[in-house]
């Protein structure tokens, strides 16, 4: 399905300075039983966020009203593990539009790009700068400019550029998805298929 | 430029390349299961389109199925609804469907090779990260998200940039008691869970060429656990012998033609890899994990590393050990365990049951251990019975369950309780992976068997005759 376009975002951020955050933490498998794409945000980080009796764990950042915003700041190797797109859906459904990390797992990154969540990979040093600033000043705003491919910490002006391929960038800017593209070249695909050995 | 195995298969499936963007990659085989497909089928419905090539699409139910009493209706209403959705979608689109109770039902990555859906030189995808398993046959196989499942259903293509290339060589002789699982856990412990991110891996060296097809599948299966898009091995006579005469492999003249092509699938001398590693197989011990990601593994006789010696975040490392309730410097040997799980797409094949049975034969399951033995498919289940393994297992106090993913991800009722330790032949030891609060020690079927009969972490080499 087509998704919201992403051009520019200026918002506060939620810091989660843990490395190797895996997709089982983002959305545990027992919440993958849905047949529609609704309600996944409620179970984002379920077992870090709630006790087994469903009461909130007060020391987890999503339960701390001090921090809010549409950017999630994650530690190195964010999104490792399963291919479940439900992890990206949970991040989106909770209200995040961008995840910033110093390193992303491949499939999670791809899934984010396919549903309109922008993964922004920054240097470890810049991630530290962002984390420290947000911890000391939770109201600190971060600006993502997709056209310019830059991420800026508004309070200090510290800035870094990030990579994204032209095709995906164009898709994000316009809210296009890959299926539209593929359906448009279906004739080329069927000709190709007719010549495959299998 | 000299081509690698990966280049040959990838390049021959590119429909078109987009400048500074992805390739449009044609997919030969698409495996579908109940958990990651319903929203994709919903997408097709919303666009009012049908599956483009139903004959290239294969559906099986595995993630969310019970492993006891499969002849009865599924009790959990959400699981039942998801299974029904797969059945209805498969029928509506004319896709072969091997649901619960079907004789060909089993874990998607076990039944694919069993029926010859998996073939050398093919591109294979599934909405499951362990699709890398099929790379053991010289296929490019990898896991995709649900948006991509929808792309493949509707156009038989996905759009991804070509990955970088890595080769991992393991040579030498494996010690007694060291299995393909140990080789894979050893490599992951060296590279870490992100060491191969962005790469497609080719495994090379005599250790892999001497492995059975089951062993090769275990290694390729775990490629994703070091972050790789997938892993593959060049097909050889062992590969061709394995797939010959299976239901979906070519027959007669078509077989001969396919063989001519398959024999070209190898990395040319002097082909360039972006990264290359070499390990000596003689130095690999039976492995066990002590933390909450598959990179946190070590030889079973070693001590848990000290935080100061760890590359990466100390607080993340300490959080992980706190979850496991282990201390830096602890020995794993002798630690009490509560559960043993033999099964999954990693180690749910007949060879794994043979290994497990060889060690428990003439011994008894420890009283403090709950053991779940779950075959990867009905075909595996049948072989366990026909080879006489079941009688030996039952004599030792074990019960065989019915096929499915089971406690690997604990979507069904097979959940390890909070705080309990499970020695598991599966692929992930993430927090809560086998049930909320569960603690997982990843290991080979031999290490699992040694734990099952002693009730604690035990070096299987001390029990092998």
Alpha carbon dihedral B12, B17, B22, B27, in 10-degree steps, equals -30
Q: In chain B, which residues have their Cβ closer than 8 Å to the Cβ of A28? A: 432, 436
Element of type H or E holding B109: helix B108-114
- Tens digits of per-residue pLDDT, B161-217? 999 999 999 999 999 999 999 999 999 999 999 999 999 999 999 999 999 999 999
| Interface touch A106/B229, C-beta < 8 Å | yes
Name the minimum distance, in Å, from the CA of A153 to any CA of chain B: 24
Angle at A112 between CA B224 and CA B194, to 5 degrees: 30
Describe chain A by its helix, strand, coil percentages, rounded to 5: 40, 20, 45
Give me the percent of chain B exceeding a pLDDT of 90: 99
What percentage of chain A has pLDDT greater than the value 70? 99
Fill in the DSSP letter of residue B461: G
How far is A107 from A104, CA to CA, in rounded Å?
Answer: 9
The model's pLDDT over A20-64, given as tens digits with 9 standing for 90+, comes to 999 999 999 999 999 999 999 999 999 999 999 999 999 999 999
Average pLDDT over residues B256-276: 97
**DSSP per residue, B406-439:** GGGTT-SS--PPTT-EEEESSS---TTTTSTT-E
Residue A93 is part of a domain; what is its CATH number?
A: 3.20.19.10
Range of the domain at A127: 8-194
- Whether A102 and chain B come into contact, CB under 8 Å, resolves to no
Domain count, chain A: 1
The pLDDT assigned to B280 comes to 98
Spatial separation of the C-alpha atoms in residues A97 and A76, rounded to whole Å: 19
**3-state class (DSSP) for residue B329:** coil
pLDDT at B372 over 70: yes
From chain B, the residues in CB contact with A57 under 8 A are: none
Place of tokens 């497909």: B37
Instruction: Report the alpha-carbon distance of residue B291 to residue B303 in Å, rounded.
Output: 12
- Residue B367, judged by CB atoms within 10 A of its CB (0-12, 13-18, 19+), counts as exposed
Average pLDDT over residues B384-393: 98
**Inter-chain contact B143–A107, Cβ cutoff 8 Å?**
yes
Predicted local confidence at residue B371, as pLDDT: 98
Beta bridge partners of B442: B424
Whether residue B32 is predicted with pLDDT greater than 70 in this model: the reply is yes
B263 in A contact zone (CB under 8 Å): no
CA distance A61 to chain B (A): 16
Structure confidence at residue B161 (pLDDT): 96
A142-145 and A8-11 strand pairing: antiparallel
pLDDT classification of B439: cutoffs 50, 70, 90: very high
Q: Does a structural domain hold residue A1?
A: no
The angle at the Cα of B222, spanning B255 to A31, to the nearest 5 degrees, equals 110
| pLDDT tens readout for residues B220-233 | 999 999 999 999 99
Q: For residues B156 and A84, what is the distance between their CA atoms, to the nearest angstrom? A: 20
User: What DSSP designation does A20 have?
Assistant: S
| B158 contacts A181? CB cut-off 8 A | no
A47 touches chain B (CB under 8 A): yes
Which residue from A25, A32, A192 is facing B431, i.e. has the nearest CB? A25
Instruction: Give the residue among B115, B114, B120 at the shortest CA–CA distance from B139.
Output: B120
Q: Where in chain B is the domain with CATH 3.30.499.10?
A: 5-262, 286-462
Cα–Cα distance between B296 and B290 in angstroms, integer? 6
Q: Could you tell me which residues are beta bridge partners of residue A121?
A: A101
* Whether the Cβ atoms of residue B445 and residue B425 lie closer than 8 Å to each other: yes
Question: How crowded is the C-beta side of B237, counted as CA atoms within 13 Å?
Answer: 1
Tens digits of residue pLDDT in A138-166: 999 999 999 999 999 999 999 999 999 99
- Do residues B445 and B349 lie in contact, with contact meaning Cβ atoms separated by under 8 Å? no
pLDDT (tens digit, 9 = 90+) per residue, B303-338? 999 999 998 789 999 999 999 999 999 999 999 999
Residue B218 to chain A, least CA–CA distance (Å): 17
CATH class in words for B5-262: alpha beta
Residue A2 lies in a domain: no
Backbone angles phi, psi at B418, to 5 degrees: -55, 135
Nearest Cα residue to B160 out of A80, A132, A107, A31: A107
**CA gap B310, B64 in Å, rounded:** 37
Q: Which residue in the set A37, A47, A76 is minimally distant from B436, CB to CB?
A: A47
pLDDT at B237 over 90: yes
In a domain, residue A3? The reply is: no
- Residues recorded for chain B: 465
The label of the residue with tokens 């195995």 reads B5
pLDDT of residue B317: 96
- A window 74-93, beta carbon within 8 A of B: 75-77, 80-86, 88
Q: What are the DSSP calls for B163-210, one per residue?
A: PEEEEEEEES-PPTT--HHHHHHHHHHHH-TTTTTTEEEEEESHHHHT
Which of A193, A194, A195 should one mutate to test binding to chain B, selecting the residue with the greatest count of B CBs within 10 A?
A193
Query: Mean pLDDT throughout A121-127?
Result: 98
Contact B49 A183 (CB under 8 A): yes
Confidence of residue A2 (pLDDT cuts 50, 70, 90): low
The tokens describing A39, both together, are: 């309600």
Q: What confidence tier does A9 reach under pLDDT thresholds 50, 70, 90?
A: very high
Nearest chain B CA: its distance from A1 CA (Å) = 7
pLDDT confidence of B84, banded at 50, 70, 90? very high
B434/chain A closest Cα distance in angstroms: 9
What's the sign of the alpha-carbon dihedral B421, B423, B424, B429? positive
Average pLDDT, chain B: 97
Which segment of A2-6, A98-102, B34-38 scores lowest on mean pLDDT?
Answer: A2-6
Instruction: Judge whether B16 is closer than 8 Å to chain A, CB to CB.
Output: yes
Q: What is the pLDDT of residue B248?
A: 97
**Structure confidence at residue B4 (pLDDT):** 98
Report the C-alpha dihedral over residues A70, A71, A74, A76, rounded to 10 degrees.
140
pLDDT at B465: 76
Residue-level pLDDT at B28: 98
Cα gap B237→B230, rounded to integer Å:
22
Q: Is B42 a residue whose pLDDT tops 80?
A: yes
Residue A1 has pLDDT above 60, yes or no: no
Q: Choose the closest CB to B53 out of A105, A106, A193.
A: A193
Residue A115 tokens read as 């549903």
Residue A198 has pLDDT above 80, yes or no: no
Q: Which residues partner with A15 through β-bridges?
A: A73
Q: Residue B67 gets which letter from DSSP?
A: S
Q: Which residue of A has its CA nearest to B293?
A: A20
| B286-462 carries CATH number 3.30.499.10 | yes
In A58-102, at which residue ranges do the beta strands (DSSP E only) sit? 71-74, 98-101
Produce one character per residue of A99-125: b if its CB has 16 or more CB atoms within 10 Å, e if not.
Answer: bbbbbbbbbbbbbbbbbbbbbbbbeee
Count of all residues that appear for chain A in the document: 198
User: Scanning the structure block, which residue is given the tokens 């039944």?
Assistant: B111
The pLDDT of residue B311 is: 82
């Amino acid at each position: 399905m087509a998704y919201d376009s992403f051009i520019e975002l200026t918002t506060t951020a939620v810091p989660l300075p843990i490395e190797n955050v895996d997709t089982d933490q983002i959305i545990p498998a027992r919440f993958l039983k849905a047949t529609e794409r609704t309600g996944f945000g409620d179970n984002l980080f379920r077992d870090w966020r709630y006790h087994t009796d469903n009461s909130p764990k007060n020391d987890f950042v999503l339960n701390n009203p001090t921090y809010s915003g549409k950017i999630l700041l994650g530690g190195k190797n964010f999104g490792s593990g399963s291919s479940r797109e439900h992890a990206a859906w949970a991040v989106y459904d909770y209200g995040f539009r961008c995840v910033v990390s110093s390193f992303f797992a491949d499939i999670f990154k791809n899934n984010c790009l396919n549903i309109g969540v922008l993964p922004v990979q920054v240097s470890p040093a810049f991630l530290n700068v962002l984390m420290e600033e947000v911890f000391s000043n939770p109201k600190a705003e971060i600006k993502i400019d997709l056209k310019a491919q830059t991420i800026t910490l508004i309070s200090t002006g510290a800035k870094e550029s990030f990579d994204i391929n032209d095709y995906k960038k164009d898709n994000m800017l316009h809210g296009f998805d890959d299926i539209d593209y593929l359906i448009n070249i279906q004739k080329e695909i069927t000709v190709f298929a007719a010549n495959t050995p299998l | 430029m000299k081509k690698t195995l990966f280049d040959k298969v990838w390049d021959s499936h590119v429909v078109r390349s987009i400048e500074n963007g992805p390739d449009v990659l044609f997919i030969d085989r698409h495996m579908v299961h109940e958990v990651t497909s319903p929203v994709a089928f919903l997408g097709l419905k919303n666009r009012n389109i049908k599956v483009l090539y139903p004959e290239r699409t294969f559906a099986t139910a595995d993630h969310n199925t019970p492993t006891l009493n499969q002849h009865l209706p599924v009790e959990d209403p959400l699981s039942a609804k998801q299974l029904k959705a797969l059945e209805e979608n498969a029928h509506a689109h004319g896709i072969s469907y091997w649901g619960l109770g079907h004789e060909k039902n089993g874990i998607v990555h076990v039944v694919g090779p069993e029926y010859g859906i998996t073939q050398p030189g093919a591109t294979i995808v599934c909405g499951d990260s362990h699709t890398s398993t099929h790379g053991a046959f010289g296929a490019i196989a990898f896991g995709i998200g649900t948006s991509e499942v929808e792309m493949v259903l509707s156009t038989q293509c996905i759009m991804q940039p070509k990955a970088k290339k890595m080769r991992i060589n393991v040579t030498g002789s494996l010690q007694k008691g060291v299995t393909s699982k140990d080789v894979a856990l050893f490599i992951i412990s060296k590279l870490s869970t992100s060491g191969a991110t962005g790469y497609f891996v080719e495994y090379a060296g005599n250790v892999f060429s001497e492995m059975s097809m089951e062993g090769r599948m275990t290694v390729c299966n775990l490629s994703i656990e070091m972050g790789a898009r997938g892993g593959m091995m060049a097909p050889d006579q062992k590969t061709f012998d394995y797939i010959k005469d299976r239901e979906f492999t070519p027959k007669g003249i078509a077989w001969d033609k396919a063989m001519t092509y398959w024999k070209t699938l190898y990395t040319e001398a002097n082909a360039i890899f972006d990264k290359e590693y070499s390990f000596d197989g003689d130095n690999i011990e039976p492995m066990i994990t002590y933390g909450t990601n598959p990179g946190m593994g070590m030889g079973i006789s070693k001590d848990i590393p000290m935080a100061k010696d760890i590359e990466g975040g100390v607080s993340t490392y300490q959080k992980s050990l706190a979850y496991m309730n282990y201390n830096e410097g602890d020995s794993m040997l002798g630690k009490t365990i509560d559960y043993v799980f033999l099964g999954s797409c990693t180690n749910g094949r007949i060879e794994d049951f043979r290994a497990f049975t060889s060690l428990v034969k003439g011994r008894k399951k420890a009283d403090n251990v709950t053991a779940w033995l779950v075959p990867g498919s009905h075909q595996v289940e049948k072989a366990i019975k026909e080879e006489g393994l079941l009688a030996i297992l039952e004599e030792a106090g074990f019960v065989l369950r019915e096929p499915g993913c089971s406690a690997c991800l604990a979507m069904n009722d097979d959940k390890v309780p909070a705080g309990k330790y499970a020695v598991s032949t599966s692929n992930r030891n993430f927090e809560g992976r086998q049930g909320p609060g569960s603690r997982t020690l990843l290991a080979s079927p031999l290490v699992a068997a040694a734990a099952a009969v002693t009730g604690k972490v035990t070096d299987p080499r001390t029990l092998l005759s």
